[in-house]
Structure 1
Amino acid sequence: MTTPTPSPEPARDAERTSAERAVLRRALRDTLLLVGGLLVLGVVVGALLSGTAGVWGALIGAALAAFFCATTIWSMMRSVGSSPAAMAGLVMGTWIAKVVVLVVVLAVLRGADFYDRYVLFVVLALGAVGSALLDYRAVKGGRVPYVQP
């Protein structure tokens, strides 16, 4: 009678999950550093261009950029190792929540004049584009096995 040998599949799955989490941690860290830099730069430039209104625009833009970018990465981190359907459900659910938050924030800010809309837009746009590029860099440089020998 032979003793069954344990399958290497759980070890490979654990290695893959660990590698995926490392890529997502790097993307989250880099994104938060980007948003911090945008906050400082946006506040300085906004203050020079529009005074207090520019500062408020930069603060709101950086907060929205941090919320949008970090929640996407967070939802991916929470769903690592789960089924593709569960991952899609969580990512789509957070995307819908982000759209609702954006609509609510824009509705609240619609009539307000204490912030500079252009500074808010530029900081938010740079945060979104920069975060996408950083996510791409993290995935491109990640060592996640996608083929099992």
Structure 2
Amino acid sequence: MTDPTPEPTPRAGDNAETSAVFRRALRDMTWFVVGVTVVGVAVGWLVAGLPGVWGALIGAGIALLFSGATTLSMLKTDGTAPGRMMAVIMGAWLGKVLVVIVLLAVLRGMDFYDRYVLAAVVAVAVIGSALLDYRAVSRGRVPYIQPSGTGSKVPNGDDPDGPAPSVG
């Protein structure tokens, strides 16, 4: 009877393909939020003057926090145990939700910013960032399995996939 050896737990940085996907998603998201900020500030100025500019800047900050926290969490925990990765991602999600709730509660009574510009910038930036994350992941070349060091044969020498199917 063969003693099965457990696979070692991957360490951070072991999977360069996955890290590249997360880095690309983070880079694309950052540039997108910068672009939305520039457009949002210009449109905010035209629509609501200085309060529109403040609404766009605050909205861009919220969008950067929301979109960047998850991608950064994924990048920093790449290659760690799944439980740890989920704990970090859920902790980051909870943290960013609490920060946004507190920020919006503090801003609620203030009138130096335009709420509609803030909402529009947040909506466009967060939805666009999610689509960019999807694009980065769907185009990324990440293997589904990690090859083991034993090759494609099982210890007794048999092919694990069985005989090749015969055609016609």
Instruction: Please report the TM-score for the alignment, with normalisation by the length of structure 1.
Output: 0.88
Which residue of the other structure, out of 42, 64, 67, is the alignment partner of 1:66?
Answer: 64
Q: Which has the larger radius of gyration?
A: 2
Contact residue 16 and residue 145 of structure 1 kept, 8 A: no
Alignment partner, residue 24 of structure 1 = 22
Alignment partner, residue 87 of structure 1 = 85
Higher helix share: 1
Please, which runs of 5 or more residues in structure 2 have no aligned partner? 1-6, 148-168
Contact residue 35 and residue 66 of structure 1 kept, 8 A: yes
Greater RCO, CA 8 A, separation 6+: 1
Which residue of the other structure, out of 135, 138, 149, is the alignment partner of 1:137?
Answer: 135
Paired residues in the alignment total 140
The 2-side partners of 1:134 and 1:125 are apart by: 14
Aligned: 1:111 with 2:109: yes
Alignment partner, residue 152 of structure 2 = none
The alignment yields a C-alpha RMSD, in angstroms, of: 1.9
Q: Residues 137 and 74 from structure 1, CA distance in 2 versus in 1: closer, same or farther, beyond 3 angstroms?
A: same
Q: Which moved more, 1:77-86 or 1:13-22?
A: 13-22
The 2-side partners of 1:13 and 1:89 are apart by: 16
- Provide Cα deviations, 1:9-29, integer angstroms capped at 9, x if missing partner: 88x989961000000000000
Alignment partner, residue 127 of structure 1 = 125
Contact residue 16 and residue 144 of structure 1 kept, 8 A: no
Aligned-residue sequence identity (percent) comes to 55
Q: Residues 65 and 52 from structure 1, CA distance in 2 versus in 1: closer, same or farther, beyond 3 angstroms?
A: same
Deviation at residue 80 of structure 1 after TM alignment = 0.6
Contact residue 54 and residue 119 of structure 1 kept, 8 A: yes
Aligned residue for 2:113, secondary structure, equals coil
Alignment partner, residue 4 of structure 1 = none
Which residue of the other structure, out of 75, 78, 81, is the alignment partner of 2:76?
Answer: 78
Q: Residues 137 and 105 from structure 1, CA distance in 2 versus in 1: closer, same or farther, beyond 3 angstroms?
A: same
